[in-house]
Amino acid sequence: MPNVSFKSLDKVAGPLIFVKGVDNAAYGEMVEIKLPNGERRQGQVLDTSQGLAIVQVFGSTLGINTTGTSTTFLGETAQLAVSDEMLGRVFDGLGNPKDNGPKIVSKEKFDLVGAGINPYSREEPSEFIQTGISNIDGMNTLVRGQKLPIFSASGLPHNLLASQIARQAKVLGTEENFSVVFAAIGITSEESNFFIKQFEESGSLERTALFLNLSSDPSMERILTPRLALTTAEFLAYERGMHVLVIMTDMTNYCEALREISAAREEVPGRRGYPGYLYTDLASIFERAGKIKGRQGSVTQLPILTMPADDITHPIPDLTGYITEGQIVMSRELHRANIQPPVDVLTSLSRLMNSGIGAGRTREDHRQLADQLYSAYAQGKDARALAAIVGEGALSDLDKKFLDVANNFEQKFVNQGLDENRSIEQTLSIGWDLLAGLSETELTRIKPEFIAKYANKTSTGNTIKSE
């Protein structure tokens, strides 16, 4: 119903306005709202039924009265003008320039909802992405076209990890650098300045598009911010043939905005007050990652969320884990031990890891070495828990070996500097170093030929003991 105007509202409820007498409005249709003082705001149709349109207002509803406020239904869905010039720019949560640069003017406009990828047209991700971080590259590998979330918690340095990955990510054997689209949702001004400074100092801002929605901005803007970022990423990937890494932080703030909208609509709440369609809504974001057959580019997603009360069973991480292809879980225990980045490899998982590693991609021993490190670290943590009860002196010789492996694994493999960029070869060498204290009979997950080939070639010169 293009350019149909209504002179009054039925009611205003939180971030929503209700307009009566609307017959032909469509879901997702854009609405222009004109206040009595002449100010104009934008909104989007959320629901239409029985002649009543529910419109979500982008921005504050302050000053909107039921009388004197007119609404115009524009007859088109939300679109974003996209251009190559978006790289190197900083935008707010609604896509407006925030860096005092010119507004993006382009004939090319893309729908914010995106176009779903036909499963037949999807290409299976298979290219290893080297992040330079051992616990990700070695144990929970990121693959081009994957969606791999980071499960963090309040006070943990997930922002540092995100900026490090954005700076260091590359694909082996190619000169192609990732373009980065960074969407910050509901962050503080301090965090915003941190990200801008990080990208500027590293020189990576020129290949990055930043969308920053601050905590002081209206919460409704948070619904748009990740979709603006993904629309930009899809344009760069599928129209310009670039490989794009999309980092979104913090998805918890996005879900809180959804809950706010649901409460204003007086919907029957689902788990913990979140709407019943939370899974569907998150899927409409996360499923926009991938590769398309016959197209050069790809979209790789790293969404970051903070688990409320460190609870991994909370609806937000729980549903995210169902949709995405694994998770990187950050540990408060490791953070207290001053281990950076504090990633708990035992609870982390990359479901596409096997597609991106092995001979011709990383190295032939990668999978088995990772399995052995998992096993040794898990046994070492069990030995640590036992030592806390009976004392380290009461442990068997074998338990003491695994305890040493676990301690060294955290201090030498997981722990690395914020600016330390390790190659996959370095990561695997450190892994073999950690196993040097074990005998061949204890390396049950590695083939003897790999032990013979790689065990004597560790970075420290340590050798695996043979019996």
Q: Are 33 and 41 in contact (CB under 8 A)?
A: yes
Q: Are 231 and 80 in contact (CB under 8 A)?
A: yes
Strand ordering across the sheet containing 40-49: 4-8, 67-77, 29-34, 40-49, 52-58, 16-20, 11-13
Instruction: Tell me which DSSP letter residue 340 carries.
Output: S
pLDDT band at 258; cut points 50, 70, 90: very high
**Rounded distance, CA 157 to CA 319, Å?**
23
pLDDT band at 457; cut points 50, 70, 90: low
Q: Are 1 and 25 in contact (CB under 8 A)?
A: yes
CA 405 to chain centre: 31
Statement: residue 458 has pLDDT above 70: no
Q: What is the pTM of this model?
A: 0.91
Statement: residue 94 has pLDDT above 90: no
pLDDT of residue 459: 47
Handedness of CA 444, 450, 455, 456 (dihedral sign): positive
Statement: residue 262 has pLDDT above 70: yes
Q: What is the pLDDT of residues 198-246, one digit of tens each?
A: 888 888 888 899 999 999 888 888 999 999 999 999 999 999 999 999 9
CA dihedral 277, 112, 294, 144 (to 10 degrees): -60
- Tell me where in the chain the CATH 2.40.10.170 domain(s) lie: 4-76
Q: What percent of the chain has pLDDT over 70?
A: 96
Distances (CA, A) of 124 to 69, 152, 293: 51, 28, 9
Place of tokens 């689209």: 181
pLDDT of residue 246: 94
**Rounded distance, CA 312 to CA 159, Å?**
19
| Fold category of 81-356 in CATH | Rossmann fold (3.40.50)
Burial of residue 420 (CB within 10 Å: 0-12, 13-18, 19+) is middle
pLDDT of residue 229: 95
Question: What average pLDDT does the segment 104-116 reach?
Answer: 86
- Sequence letter at residue 54: I
Statement: residue 460 has pLDDT above 50: no
Q: What is the pLDDT of residues 3-36, one digit of tens each?
A: 778 888 888 888 899 999 888 888 888 999 998 8
**Rounded distance, CA 61 to CA 7, Å?**
17
Q: Are 443 and 464 in contact (CB under 8 A)?
A: yes
pLDDT of residue 107: 87
Question: What average pLDDT does the segment 53-82 reach?
Answer: 87
pLDDT of residue 456: 65
Statement: residue 301 has pLDDT above 90: yes
Structure tokens at 100: 């005092």
pLDDT band at 1; cut points 50, 70, 90: low
CA 230 to chain centre: 12
Q: What is the pLDDT of residues 178-203, one digit of tens each?
A: 789 999 999 998 888 888 888 888 88
Statement: residue 336 has pLDDT above 60: yes
Distances (CA, A) of 108 to 79, 117, 214, 252: 10, 20, 28, 32
Statement: residue 101 has pLDDT above 70: yes
Distances (CA, A) of 229 to 100, 210, 310, 355, 366: 19, 8, 27, 27, 34
CA 49 to chain centre: 35
Closest CA to 174 of 141, 128, 137: 128
- Tell me where in the chain the CATH 3.40.50.12240 domain(s) lie: 81-356
Q: Where are the alpha helices (DSSP H) in 203-273?
A: 221-234, 251-264
Statement: residue 331 has pLDDT above 90: yes
pLDDT of residue 313: 93
pLDDT of residue 464: 55
Q: Are 369 and 376 in contact (CB under 8 A)?
A: no
| Fold category of 4-76 in CATH | Thrombin, subunit H (2.40.10)
